[in-house]
Amino acid sequence: MHDDRSITEHRLRRVLKERIKPAVHSRPVPLAIGRWEAPGEPVPVSEGLAAPYGPCAIGETWGPAWGTTWFKVTGTVPAEWAGRTVEAVLDLGFDRMMPGFQCEGLVHRADGSEVKALNPYNDWVRVADAAAGGEQVEWYVEAASNPVLVDHSATYEGDRGTSGDQPLYRLARMDLAVFETDVWELVQDLEVLHDLMTQLGEADARRYEILRAIDAALDALDLGDVPGTAAAARTRLTGVLAAPAHASAHRISAVGHAHIDSAWLWPLRETVRKVSRTTSNMVNLMDAHPEFVFAMSQAQQLDWIKTHRPELFERIKKKIADGQFVPVGGMWVESDTNMVGGEAMARQFLYGKKFFLDEFGIETRNVWLPDSFGYTAAMPQIVKLSGSQWFLTQKICWSQVNAFPHHTFWWEGIDGTRVFTHFPPVDTYNSDLGGAQLAHAAANYREKGRGSRSLVPFGWGDGGGGPTREHLARARRQRDLEGSPRVEIERPDAFFEKAHAEYADAPVWAGELYLELHRGTYTSQAKTKQGNRRSESLLREAELWAATAAVRVPGYGYPYEDLERIWKTVLLHQFHDILPGSSIAWVHREARATYAEVREELRGITLAAQTALAGEGAAELVFNCAPHTRRGVPAGGAGPAQAPAGWQRVTVEERHGGGHVLANGRLLVEIDGRGLIVSAYDLEARREALAPGVAANLLQIHPDFPNMWDAWDIDAFYRNSVTDLVELDALEVAEGGPDAVTVRVSRSFGRSAAVQSITLRAGAKTVDLVTEVDWHETEKFLKAAFPLDVKAERSASETQFGHVYRATHTNTSWEAAKFEICAHRWIHVEEPGWGTAILNDSTYGHDVTRDMRPDGGQTTTVRLSLLRAPRYPDPETDQGAHTLRFSLAPGAQIADAVREGHALNLPERVVPGAGPVAPLLAVDEAAVVVEAVKLAEDRSGDVVVRLYESLGGRATASLTAGFPLSAAFETDLLERPLPGPAVAAPAADGTVALTLRPFQIVTVRLRRA
């Protein structure tokens, strides 16, 4: 037989595009159109409905960047259409290639209720299933003219204040039309079969069966009367669509989904509208298709709907009760997981799951995080303590070098907890359910022979409108179709239950899920990261002192509502395109302002509580929020500060050859004539911290132009070029006294300048460094280097509730790919018996390398990533003034790093008062760190304390309550008692005995007597 495949395939493509698809909506009748440009920001619906509408015509341009245009469309269904299905086609000027990244619309009725959204693949509105003729149409379209910002080039369109005012879109079509059901069904038949056919091998007989059936269907179609002959054409396809799938066919659980970034290439206010548009589409689709299931994560987004679209929220609640609309994820937002602090990660689940329970009575069981940029090794324990069972992500398939070896597996965290995890092998969280993607999922699936099923999230995300009726048509046709995986639309929990039952002995992956991409997100937008870290610290302070005052001070009211509201604000800004610094300028400008408001409000709450606790008096009381005693003030208490044991005054001398020598009896620090630290000598261990012949606190600058994803990525080749910033503007002793000496170093480079203050304090075993940078570089990367005389096989980086080890060598491609790593408050390197820590107050990106020296020793260099200057999506990223704090701690062990890291991030507060304030709670084991002290969310007055073992070993401790205690219970993160007995019956003196495994998190609820 002659090979005519290409002829038939080309025939199909042309006929579909030029004849069949245009015939889906026939007999178009134009609607009358009016328009009104909303001034400034979006207006309430009532204002849009009442606005003065002017005339408008198809072909007119509309919409400057970030504007809102309201269109009023009116018309009458022709009488001759009686009995026909009638729809309106409302095309705002969509580009079909970019669903979710352009203009969008929401259709309203005259009473203000929403109808559905308008998107590139969803530009229709049903008027009548069987028209009577004469129906009047009156709708109002709230159209958002969001600029297209996806081309990865520097643009100032990412902020309303700098964007242009020219119209971006051209109105394409606003008609009433007859919806030709048979034609639409024929389109779905042909598209499914074409996609399936092209995925089958050229030697596969099934491919040719489909080809011949398509040929026959096209022969049966009269191109001059497509609606009249579509049914006949469909009959020629019945046989090939009825052939059942092979018994061994891969099984796909298809879950409707619309991944919507809570901010990214649009501001938060636009996300509020995006989620309303998408969910309005979803409840409409559910009305027409009872089999449709849609999963939505991010409690914040549903809360926005509740606040801004209460009538839509009620429809969603009904669909949740019916089981079609499925809340998933259990988190307030789909947050970053690398940089979010431990307590904040716990609160993501506390407030997320609490919202789903309070509003819908639903306990979410799966954690849904398809798009975050790598996943902390602390996550499995946090997932389990939240009451969740399963974890899903997609993003690891983006890794540049190493293909992850599993799709279904047990993920083991730093404490040993395991969570059943799935990576959908379809390699997208916005599947179209087309044949190519389903074939890829089946072929890519790594568990063949042991498992047989995977999950596919389908639907247009980011404002593309979510799943469509076309997606559901593909699912129906591929439910049991020869050559295709079997597709079943079902809830995520149903998939996980089946996958776990089938593959309970899945392999184990231990440690972090490191994404070999987007490493620059640890550094981009330094002020956003600084705002997050400091907000987390301030929330800790506010809760601790407010809880202490609520228990101790009559009449003091714990600010439950204020703290919850602030927490939710901070959690929102931990979304995986805000905290990582990968959003447009508008988002980060607003974030900086929001963090400033959070700072002032939390300082007010803290000061009010401390003032209430201190009482009337003139004594200088130091409030210590850190989890360890500091200057004689106990953790969580207040009192007069004391000099540390063995205190010696700090001395400063001129250094031979230029510079200064600082000493305090514990450290001797030499600063050379270039203003660089050339010695940090541990006097107690009689050990030099720095490698011979090199300098620490060395600022270095690299070119920074990754191959793609500017704000997201740094590529390893950036290291090939480096400039050491050693030119000096000024070097002086800025402050000198018995308690502290500060040497100030000033430098200029490029268009920027840096002033570094190097301080040694009495009694301290840290060198404190404050770097003030006026940053005006472009596409540059600023690092601070500390070359240490340590032979370290691995580094330890603080993460949530513990730390994670990473190799310093590059033996394998997995290790080499981790050329930039994330650490929280500290990073530590050591050889047996001695180590050094680098501490920080708002820096996350680090790199650790090692080199052999001519003397045979090994140098381990730790560098902090301070600032970047990418041009996309914010062309002014990090421009301006920054203050960054970090410290060098020679001789530090991990316990010292834990203590000093908290001390740096939780500064002392001095308040006048009557006398000391005893801690509300005390723990007698330094390895057991108190992470949070608060009152219970249920307003019972119970005190909740969260602790963890910080060193990676087993620990026993006594928790002592500074108030009468009647009971103590271990709880989950939602403060619900865990199964089993109380932690321990409190002893007569109010102590509770605790035993913790390595890195275990324990939440204890203390009932006051």
User: Would you name the residues annotated as active-site residues?
Assistant: 371
Instruction: For CA atoms 592, 594, 598, 600, give the dihedral sign.
Output: positive
The secondary element (H helix, E strand) that includes residue 621 is: strand 619-623
Phi, psi (5° rounding) for residue 25? -110, 110
Tracing tokens 């400091």 back to the chain, one arrives at 534
C-beta contacts of 35-40 below 8 A and 24+ residues apart: 35/60, 35/62, 35/69, 35/70, 35/71, 35/72, 36/69, 36/70, 36/72, 37/62, 37/67, 37/68, 37/69, 37/70, 38/67, 38/68, 38/69, 38/70
- According to DSSP, the residues that pair with 1008 across neighbouring strands are 965
Tracing tokens 């509408």 back to the chain, one arrives at 53
Give the residue from 244, 180, 241 showing the smallest Cα distance to 216. 241
Q: What angle do CA 518, 492, 975 make, to 5 degrees?
A: 80
Q: Say which residues have a Cβ less than 8 Å from residue 569's Cβ, sequence separation at least 6.
A: 594, 598
The answer to whether residues 928 and 955 touch, using CB atoms and an 8 Å cutoff, is yes
The secondary element (H helix, E strand) that includes residue 814 is: helix 813-816
The secondary element (H helix, E strand) that includes residue 385 is: helix 379-385
The answer to whether residues 344 and 766 touch, using CB atoms and an 8 Å cutoff, is no
The answer to whether residues 662 and 671 touch, using CB atoms and an 8 Å cutoff, is yes
Q: Which amino acid is at 347?
A: R
Give the residue from 214, 207, 246 showing the smallest Cα distance to 481. 246
Alpha carbon separation from 121 to 145, 235, 352 (Å, rounded): 17, 27, 31
- According to DSSP, the residues that pair with 1005 across neighbouring strands are 944, 969
Q: Tell me how far apart the alpha carbons of residues 79 and 131 are, in angstroms, rounded to a whole number.
A: 9
Q: Tell me how far apart the alpha carbons of residues 659 and 677 are, in angstroms, rounded to a whole number.
A: 10
The answer to whether residues 390 and 333 touch, using CB atoms and an 8 Å cutoff, is no
Q: Tell me how far apart the alpha carbons of residues 724 and 703 are, in angstroms, rounded to a whole number.
A: 12
Q: Tell me how far apart the alpha carbons of residues 276 and 282 are, in angstroms, rounded to a whole number.
A: 10
Q: Tell me how far apart the alpha carbons of residues 756 and 737 are, in angstroms, rounded to a whole number.
A: 19
